[in-house]
Structure 1
Amino acid sequence: MWPLLLLHLLAFLLLPEAELEKNVKRTDAVKPLDLPRGRNRLCPGQKCTVAGWGKVAPQGRLSDTLQEVQLTVQKDTVCEKLFNRHYNRTIKLCVGNPAENKASFQGDSGGPLMCRNGIQGIVSYGFRNGTAPRIFTRLSSFLPWIKKTMKSLKLQEPDDLLWS
């Protein structure tokens, strides 16, 4: 499941313009996201942004407009206590302050967790009621696989854009 989710994200964010129906005009606001460097760690308390078209209320419908929310990275122990064996700190991130009424939600899965102008995670799952914290895939754990996959699919040269 994780490789498929990562491949979906890579294709969405990094597909060369020649493969798109229309060319994308790149601006300061529209550009590929940088992947994390292996040594670039997130720290509890750090603020990150999530974007998506998911539900904004448990009984609501999917949003017609792109939403974004700023969330706080939590200590791994917070999610280890709440999610028990379903949380693996090696490949997952714990994001969203339980004391705040904001989080990613149903329909946001596969969307980016952006920190310091780069993508650090992918929206994955959480409690059905939408409360924080939520679980995100930790991209830094998959960098070797991402690099290998990008080269094999000839999406772009990852060394030129992502690891320079």
Structure 2
Amino acid sequence: MQLLLVFQGRKLRITVILGAHNVRDREQSQQRIHVRQWVIHPKYSCEGFKNDIVLLKVGINTSPPAHLPKPLNLFLVPSGAECEVAGWGRTSLTGNGSNVMREVELKVQKEKICQQLFKNYQPQSMICVGDDYRKKGVYKGDSGGPLICNQKAHGIASHVPYGYVYPEVFTRISYFKPWIREQLRKFSLQDLPGSPFSD
């Protein structure tokens, strides 16, 4: 079942594309899967992008889940750690998004750097990443991409300072792991035969 969503007055049909490199081409490696359901964190706020996380339930289980960090240690990724992020976002402040996936290595920064730039920065639920030394980072169109550190997904690309590329703020996945597990449990219950919530 394809889910028809209403968001800010617009109806959205969301499709997840797996195995894509060039988003302008229909590559043989691509799999298009309709999103059956989504859930936005109940305390999400566009002011400061607090609790900036959403889960999508797709039609079939086609790939293994990303390895998540342990929830008890919220600062598993120390400042100075090298991480990777990929996406199809803009490659300059005024340019267009990229047709092909690009990847960049970024360094985790000390929390005080983002606390000075973002008045709503929350170190328990956010990660400060990127510096002007490398002159590269995530930007518009990269939101939602994973921050991979030591082969584990630790963050989700969230936002950058207005008019700048770095540093960037990522949603800290470990902080939301209890909420993620609860939503996955609800998704599983919906798939049980005879469930009033099943498709």
Tell me the TM-score range normalised by the shorter chain. Answer: 0.7 to 0.9
* Aligned partner of residue 94 in structure 1, secondary structure: strand
User: 78, 96, 113: which one pairs with 2:113?
Assistant: 78
* Aligned partner of residue 43 in structure 1, secondary structure: coil
Equivalence map 1:113-132=2 (5 Å): 113-132=147-166
For residue 6 of structure 1, report the CA deviation from its aligned partner.
Answer: 2.8
Return the structure number with greater relative CO, CA threshold 8 A, min gap 6: 1
CA distance in structure 1 between the partners assigned to 2:159 and 2:40 by the alignment: 12
Equivalence map 1:1-164=2 (5 Å): 3=41, 6-8=53-55, 11=57, 15=58, 19-20=59-60, 24=62, 31-38=64-71, 39=73, 41-83=76-118, 85-154=119-188
Identity of matched residues, %: 35
More strand by share: 2
* Aligned partner of residue 124 in structure 1, secondary structure: strand
For residue 131 of structure 1, report the CA deviation from its aligned partner.
Answer: 2.3
Is the Cα contact below 8 Å between 2:93 and 2:165 reproduced in 1?
A: no
Could you give the per-residue CA deviations for residues 86-135 of structure 1, whole angstroms, max 9, x where no partner exists?
21111110000232201100000111111111100100001233421100
More helix by share: 1
Question: Which runs of structure 1 show a deviation greater than 2 angstroms over 4 or more consecutive aligned residues?
Answer: 4-8, 128-131
Query: Could you say what the CA RMSD is over the residues aligned between the two structures, in angstroms?
Result: 2.3
In structure 2, list runs of 5 or more residues that go unmatched.
Answer: 1-38, 45-51, 190-199
CA distance in structure 1 between the partners assigned to 2:65 and 2:86 by the alignment: 14
Is the Cα contact below 8 Å between 1:103 and 1:130 reproduced in 2?
A: no
Q: Which structure has the larger Rg over C-alpha atoms?
A: 2
CA distance in structure 1 between the partners assigned to 2:136 and 2:40 by the alignment: 25
Is the Cα contact below 8 Å between 1:96 and 1:134 reproduced in 2?
A: yes
For residue 2 of structure 1, report the CA deviation from its aligned partner.
Answer: 6.3
CA distance in structure 1 between the partners assigned to 2:159 and 2:85 by the alignment: 13
CA distance in structure 2 between the partners assigned to 1:51 and 1:67 by the alignment: 5
Query: Normalising to structure 2: TM-score of the pair?
Result: 0.64
Distance 1:2 1:93, change over 3 A: farther
CA distance in structure 1 between the partners assigned to 2:174 and 2:105 by the alignment: 20
CA distance in structure 1 between the partners assigned to 2:70 and 2:144 by the alignment: 20
* Aligned partner of residue 86 in structure 1, secondary structure: coil
